[in-house]
Structure 1
Amino acid sequence: MVESSKRRTADSKPARTKQRNPVQLNRVTRALFSASVLLCLTLQILAQEKRPPIIVFGSDSPERGTTRVGYWDNTKNRGAGQFAIDYGKPMWRKEYEESGRFDKMTRGQVWRLGSNFWTVLDTDLPLKIAGKSIPAGSWYLGLERSQDGAAWSLVFIDPAKARATHLDASQIQQAPIAFKVPMTSEKSSEMREKLVIDLIFEKTKMKDVVLRIAWGNLQLSAPVQVP
């Protein structure tokens, strides 16, 4: 009876739970983390391998605007020179007016002017814009705004340099600026839903032209003189 009682006492003792070594737990955790990181990297590499290195994009007859000034020699019955600006017409968005978003987009930035392909000034006449001599030729245009937001400039980019590196107009901040000219800014009383660029002149002063850029309630202008 005593022996049987001892057996029951021994059998009734709770089993001891085996405690894992903290060092072993840390090793397991590190191994699982490393495996997860390796899996993520592998998936990223596979995704990149599936993505073609070059893709194609385009647009179906995008809306563009052109403004032009031309001169005609009546004595010779032929053209006497011209210049024009061709540009895409992006829509103004209402959210640009919220919480200073437009300021955040443009302050201290070289800013794309237009949409889709580059905005292009093509002139077969030398010009003076805001007092700066502009050689005849073709120029890509953009805008630059000062860090404090008070000053705007029209920037000129040599198309040959942009083409050499295949720069898209959306990468204008990477483009080398040949030169820039100051523009006068004012708040327009008329809201422009799409970008509008105009070359404005009077026939009595045909060599004095005003370049005007209007988008939303922003309006920029600069004088253009034809020698």
Structure 2
Amino acid sequence: MKNTSTILALLVGTCAFAQMKFPAVSSHAEIEQKVGLTEFEIEYNRPNINNREVFGKLVPNGEVWRTGANENTVIKFDQPIKVNGKELAAGEYSLYTIPNQKSWDVIFYKDAKNWGNPQEWKESNIALKVNSPATKTKGVKLETFEIRFTNVQQDKADLVLAWDDVSVVVKLETNTKQAVLDMIKSQLNENSPARDFYNSANYYYTNKLDRAQALKWINKAIAKDAKAPSYFVELKEKLEKEKY
């Protein structure tokens, strides 16, 4: 009985000192977005206005901001991209910004393990800095800070930073076209299934590339599949009729 009582006492004591959990003041968010063949991930914390004056006061103009709350905002992508027309290697970066009234500097920083801003800011850690216009959203105020992707296409997308009545758009471009062309060149062969020949022909047709080559591939696809779907034949007809 003595041993049992001791164990129970220890358990009660342990429970008494268990850490309590409270909701975060700024909610945590994760975003995943595929642009063409490039995978993007963003992890950040979302502060609220809470009746405060945001830009120029809570977030001072001309100073480095963590672009969110708590830990630094982190962005990852698995293939090289262009940001506002400038090249940036694939990898993981902190996304820092320097807000101003008319435009923001957007900084991709190599050290992605900070609570907020780095204790020591190193210019050598700046992988890329670009500038984007800051637009006022008339009559609309966003209570919670938001990062989102819009206008997502096969080879580009807009990365939007929005809070209060300010919106900043960063232009992203991926290497989708070259990646697809390289894949076709290295992988498409006589043993490839009909579907691969169809997809290759359709990609060429959609992007207005070598029509003669696309015709060869769609003919190959139809020849390989005795039960080829009707859209195989439809693509062949389009390639034969349309000139580009």
Shorter-chain TM-score above 0.5 = yes
CA contact (8 A) 2:29 2:44 kept: yes
The amino acid across from 1:64 in the alignment is H
C-alpha change, 1:201 and 1:91, in structure 2 (3 Å) is: same
CA contact (8 A) 1:193 1:216 kept: yes
Give a deviation string over 1:115-174, Cα, whole Å, max 9, x none.
12221101101111111211101000111135xx33211112112xx65xxx421x3474
Secondary structure at the residue paired with 1:152? strand
Select the residue among 15, 29, 43 that pairs with 1:65. 29
C-alpha change, 1:131 and 1:60, in structure 2 (3 Å) is: farther
Q: What's the CA shift for 1:95?
A: 2.6
For 2:22 and 2:121, how far apart are their aligned partners in 1?
26
Give the aligned partner of residue 233 of structure 2. Answer: none
CA contact (8 A) 2:102 2:133 kept: no
CA contact (8 A) 1:110 1:173 kept: no
For 1:60 and 1:140, how far apart are their aligned partners in 2?
27
Percent identity between the two aligned chains: 23
Task: Say if 2:91 is the partner of 1:137.
Answer: yes
Q: TM-score, normalised by structure 2?
A: 0.54
Pair member with larger Rg: 1
Task: Say if 2:120 is the partner of 1:120.
Answer: no
Select the residue among 106, 115, 124 that pairs with 1:154. 106
CA contact (8 A) 1:197 1:212 kept: yes
The amino acid across from 2:146 in the alignment is V
Give a deviation string over 1:71-93, Cα, whole Å, max 9, x none.
68xxxxxxx43012111001113
Select the residue among 169, 186, 190 that pairs with 2:135. 186
Select the residue among 144, 148, 172 that pairs with 1:198. 148
Select the residue among 168, 171, 174 that pairs with 1:220. 168
Q: TM-score, normalised by structure 1?
A: 0.58
CA contact (8 A) 2:82 2:172 kept: yes
The amino acid across from 1:176 in the alignment is K
Give the aligned partner of residue 168 of structure 1. Answer: 115
Q: What's the CA shift for 1:66?
A: 2.4
Secondary structure at the residue paired with 1:106? coil
For 2:82 and 2:32, how far apart are their aligned partners in 1?
16
Secondary structure at the residue paired with 1:112? coil
| Structure 1 unaligned spans of 5+ | 1-58, 73-79
The amino acid across from 2:135 in the alignment is E
For 1:144 and 1:176, how far apart are their aligned partners in 2?
15
Count, aligned residues: 150
Give a deviation string over 1:9-44, Cα, whole Å, max 9, x none.
xxxxxxxxxxxxxxxxxxxxxxxxxxxxxxxxxxxx
CA RMSD of aligned residues (A): 2.6
CA contact (8 A) 1:65 1:89 kept: yes
For 1:183 and 1:173, how far apart are their aligned partners in 2?
26
For 1:176 and 1:81, how far apart are their aligned partners in 2?
28
C-alpha change, 1:61 and 1:128, in structure 2 (3 Å) is: farther
Q: In terms of mean alpha carbon deviation, does 212-221 or 87-96 score higher?
A: 87-96
